[in-house]
Amino acid sequence: MLKRQQWIVAAVGSVLLFSLFTFGKFTPPHKPHDDHGEVSASSTQTFDFQSFLSSLKKDLSPSQSTALTKLEEAITRGDLNTQKKNNYEALSNFWKDSVRSFIPYIYYLGEKAKLENSEKSLTLAAHSMLVELRGLTDPELKSWMANEAQSLFSQALKINSLNDSTLIGWGSTFFFGASGAPMEGILKIREVAEKDPTNSFAQFMLGYGSMVSGQNEKAIERLKKTVELDPENAEAVFLLAEIYEKTGEKKEALEWYQKGLQQVRNPELVKALEEKINSLK
């Protein structure tokens, strides 16, 4: 697991790290590959959750290993749906509370949601993955989690096909390497945005998608609309700052970083952000 200090240093160079502090997420202990680009269609490498889980187990304390073994054995012995749901929830809580590792936590939460098959539980797990995806760099892990989120959103849409937030979430998974036709996902988000221009989630994800594809002007337009609709959206604010900085527009970048500073409460992150602002003056 990356040390807190490492994240602070990284935050100076990547706006998505600001959202890690803002949303209080768990740091996934996964080593990124040298290639931090998007997943290509020709990629044959895939993220193996079970292998990843085995690597995490090596760092557990004896008491943690004992507790985990009991939980896992309970699942292998149980065939009843209710028992499995309870065990998946227990495993999810174990990785969240005892180890603070996001990936197994959200995986088991998702497995429980699939068995429960309620719109609320499915979308909770899927949206949690979608937020986490915006901070990942490992292409294999990103693609795996995008497909997991897409599966959960798809199951939720079978229950309620008219939920705009779920439609946006489903469409957004393509930005991170989910299987399928990316344009289909984009069109679904656009449909929501055209139907309801005040939907800040749709505006944000369209802005994020434009940023990922290098369409900076469109990204700025959408993200500014997001902030107008939702002034407390710190992630949109920092994305605007980063885009302006990358395009060499220091004055605008400085203004957006200063706006973002007003929404940050973590002392260490405030210090890192102040250093960033001073470097642009």
Query: In this structure, is residue 178 part of a structural domain?
Result: no
**At which of 160, 175, 204 does a domain end?**
160
- pTM of the entire structure? 0.82
Q: Do 133 and 19 share a domain, yes or no?
A: yes
* CB-based contacts of 250, cutoff 8 Å, min separation 6: 244, 280
Name the residue range of residue 274's domain.
218-281
Q: In angstroms, rounded to a whole number, what is the distance separating the alpha carbons of residues 12 and 31?
A: 20
> How far is CA 263 from each of CA 21, 94, 237, 240, 256, rounded to the nearest angstrom?
11, 31, 10, 15, 11
Is residue 162 predicted with pLDDT exceeding 70?
Answer: yes
- How many domains does the structure of the chain reveal? 2
Q: Is 201 a member of any domain?
A: no
> Does residue 127 form part of some domain?
yes
pLDDT digits (tens, 9 = 90+) for 121-149: 999 999 999 999 988 889 999 999 999 99
pLDDT at 73: 87
Residue 87 forms part of a structural domain: yes
Residue 99 lies in a domain: yes
The whole-angstrom separation of Cα 236 and Cα 140 is: 25
Between CA 115 and CA 66 the distance in angstroms is: 26
Residue 40 has pLDDT above 90, yes or no: no
Which residue bears the tokens 């603070």?
A: 100
142 and 25 within one domain: yes
Same-domain status, 57 and 141: yes
- Measured CA to CA, the distance from residue 162 to residue 166 in angstroms comes to 8
